[in-house]
Amino acid sequence: MDWLSPEEWQAVALSLRVAFWATLASLPPGVLAAYALARWRFPGRQLLNGLVHLPLILPPVATGYLLLLAFGTRGPLGSLLEEAGIVFAFRWTGAALAAAVMAFPLMVRAIRLSIEAVDPRLEQAGATLGASGPWVFATVTLPLVLPGILAGAILAFAKAMGEFGATITFVSNIPGQTQTLPTAIYAFLQVPGGEASALRLVVIAIVVSMAALLLSEIVARRVAKRVAGA
């Protein structure tokens, strides 16, 4: 990788790591939130819906600031987690948290749509054949929403790769610590002679995004083909 400077390479690697963990960690709560919004009728459902979508409509800087207030070392959650040895502020884990929060609404939307598309009559059929609720979910619902989960995960990954506002507000822009691909591009553009580095990172961003998109298309087509029985 001699065409990338160590600093540039660091930013790319960190971004990939941040996006990977942000996506992986938000999958279980993402599926749960999507299922709850699609299927359950409970008081506070609209509130949950609003909370999930908040990062999508709030200015990212505001989301980052709220994260700083809550998860900063002196924040209520941050100090609590610090005792448990988990620190978010000004660490790459904080960048992952910011990316996860920002990508969460996109992930939940994609999964929710695919859960709503599952015919509940198939789940009933599973129940009449002896499968209890969790088994029906595992053997009928989950395989049928898998394309939606994959689409949601890839969308979230791409969003996490590109997250800027909340990240820079929450964990700043420390090279090797919290400097992700977008914040690195921003940093390079602030110094004279940094355009070439910025451009190289932009090219990488395009390649990674396109690859993610292609991958999701291929996966979706495979799954659709399998279900159609062809």
Partner 1 sequence: MTLSVAIRHAFPGFELDVSFEAPPGVTVLFGRSGSGKTTTVNAVAGLLRPDAGRAAADGWVLFDTAGGAWLPPHRRRLGYIFQEGRLFPHLTVRRNLLYGRWFAPKEGPGEDMGRIVEMLGIGHLLDRRPGALSSGEKQRVAIGRALLASPRLILADEPLASLDEARKAEILPYFERLRDEVSVPVLYVSHSAAEVARLATTVIALEDGKAVRQGPAVEVLGDPTVTPVGARGAGAVLEAAVVRHHADGLSEIEAGGVSLFLPRVPHPPGSRIRVRIAAHEVLLSRGEPEGLSALNILPGTVESVRAGEGPGAIVSVRTAAGTILSRATRRSTEALGLAEGVQCHAVIKTVAIAPEGVGGA
Judged by CB under 8 A, does residue 41 bind partner 1? no
Contact 204, 184 (CB under 8 A): no
125 binds partner 1 (CB under 8 A): yes
Stretch that binds partner 1, among 1-9, 90-98, 119-127, 170-178 (CB under 8 A): 119-127
CB of 127 to partner 1, least distance (A): 4
Nearer CB in complex with partner 1: 123/163: 123
Do residues 152 and 110 lie in contact, with contact meaning Cβ atoms separated by under 8 Å?
yes
Q: Does the footprint of partner 1 cover residue 222 (CB under 8 A)?
A: no
Tell me if 54 contacts partner 1 by CB under 8 A. no
Q: By CB under 8 A, is residue 228 in contact with partner 1?
A: yes
SS3 193: coil
Piece in contact with partner 1 (CB under 8 A), picked from 33-41, 90-98, 130-138, 174-182 = 130-138
How far, in Å, CA of 194 to CA of 201, rounded?
A: 11
Tokens of 22: 């942000």
What DSSP letter does each residue of 94-114 carry, written as one string? HHHHHHHHHHHHHHHHHHHHH
Stretch that binds partner 1, among 24-32, 73-81, 137-145, 193-201 (CB under 8 A): 137-145
How far is 125 from 230, CA to CA, in rounded Å?
23
Residues 140-179 vs partner 1: string with x where CB under 8 A? x--xx-----------------------------------
Q: Are 98 and 170 in contact (CB under 8 A)?
A: yes
Q: Which of 68, 71, 91 is nearest to 80 (CA)?
A: 71
Alpha-carbon distance of 30 to 24, in angstroms, equals 10
Alpha helical stretches, state H, the chain: 6-39, 45-57, 60-71, 76-83, 92-116, 120-128, 133-136, 142-162, 165-171, 181-190, 195-228
> Which one of 1-9, 32-40, 125-133, 171-179 is the stretch in contact with partner 1 (CB under 8 A)?
125-133
Is 229 near partner 1 (CB under 8 A)?
A: yes
Q: Which of 64, 75, 126, 182 binds partner 1 (CB under 8 A)?
A: 126
Part in contact with partner 1 (CB under 8 A); list of ranges 16-24, 28-36, 102-110, 131-139: 131-139
Q: Which residue number, 70 or 122, has a Cβ lying nearer to partner 1?
A: 122
List of residues contacting partner 1 (CB under 8 A) = 119, 121-122, 124-133, 135-136, 139-140, 143-144, 226-230
